[in-house]
Structure formats: C-alpha cells, structure tokens
Amino acid sequence: MELLVDPGFAPGRKLSEEESAHCVKVLRHREGDVVNVADGNGHRYECRIAVASPRGCSLEVLNTITATPPRCHLRMAVAPTKNIDRFEWFVEKAVEIGVSRITPLLCDHSERDRVRTDRLQKIIVAAAKQSLKCFLPTVDELTSLADVISGDHSPQRYILHCGEAPKPHLFAQARPAVDTLILIGPEGDFSAKEIQAAAAAGFQECTLGPERLRTETAALVATNVIALRNQLNDIR
C-alpha cells in the first residue's frame, strides 16, 4: 500500500501541494485512481482522485479508517549531534520504529545549540510514509535539560549515561504500556550535575549494556527497547 501523509487533511480539503506533486509527478496517479491519505492524527482516508493537479489534488473520500493509537506515549529527549546528519538519521529511524515525541535537548556538553525543526518535520513525514504510520510524532524546538526534567511527569522517566556506577539495564526496568520519557546526552555525555539533577527529580539511571554507543545509536537502541517491551507484552 502507498500512503500519502498530509497533516491536517480532512474531507473536503485538497491534498497539500507537496503531497499532490508527489502523487502526480512521482507516483504518476491520474483522475480516477484510488489513493490513501493519512492526516497524522490517526485517520487514513481512502480517496478517489477527482482532479489530479500537482498544485493541489481534489479527492473524493470513499472510506475513513481510524488507526489504533499506540499503547504508550514515548518521548525521546536527545541532544543533537555535532554532525546533524546523525541526529536526523535517528529521527527517521525512531519514527519507523515508533515514537510519540522527539525533543532536541540542550545540555552542558552540547556541541550544537540550534536545530531546524522544519527540516526535522519533513523527515518525520517521509519516514511515516515509508513505514505506513497514521500518527505523526511531534517535534519540539531545542529545549534545555532543566525544562524537560521539570516539565514532564511521565510515569516512567529514565536517564541513560556512561557513568561507571552499576546501573540496571533499560530492558529490565521498562514496563510495557506505560508512558515513558528517556534522556540521551551529547557526545560528551551528561555532566555530573545534570545526572544528579535528574536523579533528584525521580529519573532512574539505566544502561544499554557495556558497550559505549554513539549518541544517535544509544537513542535508537533505547527507542527499540521500549518498542520491543510493548511488542512482547502484546504477544503474550
């Protein structure tokens, strides 16, 4: 199945110009073809093309399918890498695996103090199309660690870092079907002060194993751990 993703699409509205161009010029659809459009809020519309225009396709909605929402809300707060391509790679793959919210994180050791959320949003849409997602995760502006710590009250909150003190593995600690926030620091890791602040606020310190992982790798592994915990719970 092909999926077009147009945030905010609804019956009676034309397809966005960007998705219309993709539909007509890339997928080569014409009047009378049936296409599927996701609105990013959990609805997939089965539509017949009435007017095939790259500037705005007119669609006749034939059927509306409501997707099952994720069983838990996963927020990944990750410090953007110095090489932004690596962070963008994480965003793409996290969307494919399953994430609800992505927060670029500003930390004491951060080497990047700005991100283009408009570009990240485009990456999110492209990844959702690839993986047939009807729900689009939100992406925040660059946010300080202090604001994330104080402003999020998810039942499960973890900080992953490379400190040598013994820590439980995230897979062993995470419970399925529970809203979760995970903090991943920059290439230089979180500072001792940041780790202490998170622990004082109730965050649990965890590890992903003995290997030292790059920021984007650790973020993706953590995303997959939560996805696997939920999938295993569904299988049982």
What CATH number is associated with residue 34?
A: 2.40.240.20
Amino acid (1-letter code) at residue 76: M
Look up the domain containing 55 and give its range: 4-66
Q: Are residues 120 and 85 in the same domain?
A: yes
Model-wide pTM > 0.75: yes
- pLDDT tens-digit readout, 186-231: 999 999 999 999 999 999 999 999 999 999 999 999 999 999 999 8
- pLDDT tens-digit readout, 2-57: 999 999 899 999 999 999 999 999 999 999 999 999 999 999 999 999 999 999 99
Mean per-residue pLDDT, 119-147 = 96
- In contact, 151 and 75? CB cutoff 8 Å: no
Q: Are residues 60 and 115 in the same domain?
A: no
pLDDT for residue 171: 96
What CATH number is associated with residue 197?
A: 3.40.1280.10
Q: Are residues 60 and 117 in the same domain?
A: no
pLDDT for residue 163: 86
Mean per-residue pLDDT, 87-97 = 98
Q: Are residues 135 and 217 in the same domain?
A: yes
Q: Are residues 35 and 83 in the same domain?
A: no
- pLDDT tens-digit readout, 154-177: 999 999 999 888 999 999 999 999
Structural domain ending residue among the three candidates 66, 83, 112: 66
pLDDT for residue 165: 85
> What beta strand segments (E) does the chain contain?
4-5, 34-38, 43-51, 58-66, 74-78, 101-106, 138-139, 143-144, 156-160, 180-184, 204-206
Backbone angles phi, psi at 99, to 5 degrees: -150, 150
Amino acid (1-letter code) at residue 203: F
pLDDT for residue 236: 58
Q: Are residues 156 and 221 in the same domain?
A: yes
**Backbone CA torsion sign across 152, 156, 161, 166:** positive
* Mean pLDDT over each residue of the chain, to the nearest integer: 95
pLDDT for residue 164: 84
The DSSP annotation for 92-104 comes to HHHHHH--SEEEE
- In contact, 131 and 169? CB cutoff 8 Å: no
- In contact, 40 and 7? CB cutoff 8 Å: yes
Q: Are residues 95 and 175 in the same domain?
A: yes
Residue 66 has pLDDT above 70, yes or no: yes
Structural domain ending residue among the three candidates 37, 66, 95: 66
Q: How many domains does the chain have?
A: 2
Q: Which of 217, 227, 159, 144 is nearest to 187 (CA)?
A: 217
- Report the share of the chain in percent with pLDDT over 70: 99
Structural domain ending residue among the three candidates 31, 66, 101: 66
pLDDT for residue 235: 62
Q: Are residues 20 and 127 in the same domain?
A: no
Q: Are residues 52 and 136 in the same domain?
A: no
Q: Are residues 92 and 138 in the same domain?
A: yes
Q: Are residues 47 and 93 in the same domain?
A: no
Q: Are residues 113 and 202 in the same domain?
A: yes
What is the distance between the alpha carbons of residues 162 and 126, in angstroms, rounded to a whole number?
32
How many beta carbons lie within 10 A of that of residue 181, not counting itself? 22
Amino acid (1-letter code) at residue 82: K
The residues near 235 (Cβ < 8 Å, ≥ 6 apart) are: none
